[in-house]
């Protein structure tokens, strides 16, 4: 049990506020052997400062090479600003229909990410923009049909892989049909599995085939498939990700501090629920205090027998299975 407790930190990717990580944050990374850090625009005021922050994070993690993650989707969701990291929105590329144009711009961006030490981009967005009232995804989708979205997803995954940056397909199983932003409340959509198979599934399946490393779910309720949200649905994670997509890499939650996940309970119980549903990585965007509370609750839950040790080892194996790509001996 003590050996498992020491590994719990490998399930967590967390963020911090401000232009640089505090010593308390760095100490937490080191002490708990946290798996990785997600960077936001406030953490990246310049390329040089971002590189310095990453070097400090790597040093704190020691021999445990961390995920250094970012959301660099293009358009309004660019955490690193300025050329060459910043590029146009998915909607603009999709409207033009020129995949080569996107591939060229995206390559410039991910090469810059890799050069300053970022090794995981939470992109591409695989959602199909079927609901024009969806403000959460406005501008972030490549198209309104799977035929429009699929080639861009493939291009993003292939380009990222060639640049040495891991990719993550989101927001599974597809958020485009919802009108609700899961940052503010639980999103809902009315599609059933047959519709999903012939629509939302296709861009995700293409991304998996192209070699995507991780899949991110969203805080979405699909009443036609399950009575709990995807974040807490073992049924959906197993039947749609593991079986229908035949994907055996790590599955990560979206930010667990979002209001959309609150239906699963307080921050501790919702974290355990997400893990028990089949998520291997647990994301906390920038609320370090919440992340530390969730970590402590998770450790207590393991000791209380609320977490299956075999499930825990399975998650650890998936994480270590892609962490071999991270070269801790190279400081960018």
What's the pLDDT score for residue 2? 65
Q: Please say if the pLDDT value at position 332 is more than 70.
A: no
Task: Report whether 109 contacts 136 (CB < 8 A).
Answer: no
Mean pLDDT across the stretch 88-103?
A: 97
Q: Please say if the pLDDT value at position 217 is more than 80.
A: yes
On the 0-12 / 13-18 / 19+ scale of CB atoms within 10 A, 288 is middle
The better pLDDT of the pair 331, 70 is held by 70
The better pLDDT of the pair 2, 230 is held by 230
CA angle 249, 181, 295 (to 5 degrees): 50
What's the pLDDT score for residue 70? 98
What's the pLDDT score for residue 329? 39
- pLDDT tens string 218-250: 999 999 999 999 999 999 999 999 999 999 999
- pLDDT tens string 286-309: 889 999 999 999 999 999 999 999
What's the pLDDT score for residue 1? 63
- Give the Cα separation of 226 and 73 in Å (integer): 30
Q: Please say if the pLDDT value at position 328 is more than 60.
A: no
What's the pLDDT score for residue 286? 86
% of residues, the chain, pLDDT over 70:
98
pTM for the full predicted model = 0.97
- pLDDT tens string 109-145: 999 999 999 999 999 999 999 999 999 999 999 999 9
Mean pLDDT of the chain: 96
Q: Please say if the pLDDT value at position 326 is more than 90.
A: no
Distances (CA, A) of 60 to 56, 81, 87, 189, 278: 6, 26, 31, 42, 29
What's the pLDDT score for residue 327? 59
Task: Report whether 258 contacts 219 (CB < 8 A).
Answer: yes
Q: Please say if the pLDDT value at position 331 is more than 50.
A: no
Give the list of residues 6+ apart from residue 165 with CB closer than 8 angstroms, or none.
110, 113, 114, 118, 119, 120, 121
């Amino acid at each position: 049990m003590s050996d498992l407790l020491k590994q719990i930190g490998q399930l967590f990717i967390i963020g911090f506020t401000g232009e640089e990580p505090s010593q308390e944050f760095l100490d937490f990374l080191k002490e708990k052997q946290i798996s990785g850090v997600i960077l936001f625009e406030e953490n990246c005021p310049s390329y040089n400062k971002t590189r310095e922050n990453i070097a400090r994070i790597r040093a704190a993690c020691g021999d445990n090479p961390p995920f250094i993650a970012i959301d660099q989707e293009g358009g309004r969701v660019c955490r690193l600003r300025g050329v060459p990291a910043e590029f146009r929105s998915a909607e603009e590329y999709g409207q033009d229909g020129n995949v080569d144009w996107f591939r060229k711009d995206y390559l410039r961006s991910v090469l810059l990410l890799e050069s300053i030490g970022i090794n995981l981009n939470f992109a591409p967005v695989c959602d199909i923009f079927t609901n024009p009232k969806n403000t959460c995804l406005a501008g972030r989708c490549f198209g309104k049909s799977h035929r429009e979205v699929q080639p861009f997803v493939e291009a993003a995954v292939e380009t990222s892989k060639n640049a040495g940056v891991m990719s993550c397909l989101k927001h599974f199983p597809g958020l485009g049909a919802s009108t609700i932003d899961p940052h503010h409340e639980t999103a809902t959509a009315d599609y059933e599995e047959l519709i999903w198979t012939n629509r939302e599934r296709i861009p995700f399946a293409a991304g998996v085939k192209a070699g995507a490393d991780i899949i991110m779910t969203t805080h979405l309720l699909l009443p036609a498939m399950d009575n709990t949200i995807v974040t807490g649905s073992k049924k959906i994670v197993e039947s749609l990700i593991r079986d229908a997509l035949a994907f055996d890499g790590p599955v990560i939650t979206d930010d667990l501090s979002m209001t959309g996940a609150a239906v699963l309970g307080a921050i501790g119980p919702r974290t355990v629920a997400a893990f028990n549903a089949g998520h291997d990585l647990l994301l906390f965007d920038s609320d370090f205090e919440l992340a530390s509370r969730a970590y402590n609750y998770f450790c207590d839950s393991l000791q209380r027998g609320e977490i299956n040790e075999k499930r825990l080892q399975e998650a650890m194996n998936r994480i270590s299975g892609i962490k071999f790509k991270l070269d801790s001996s190279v400081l960018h």
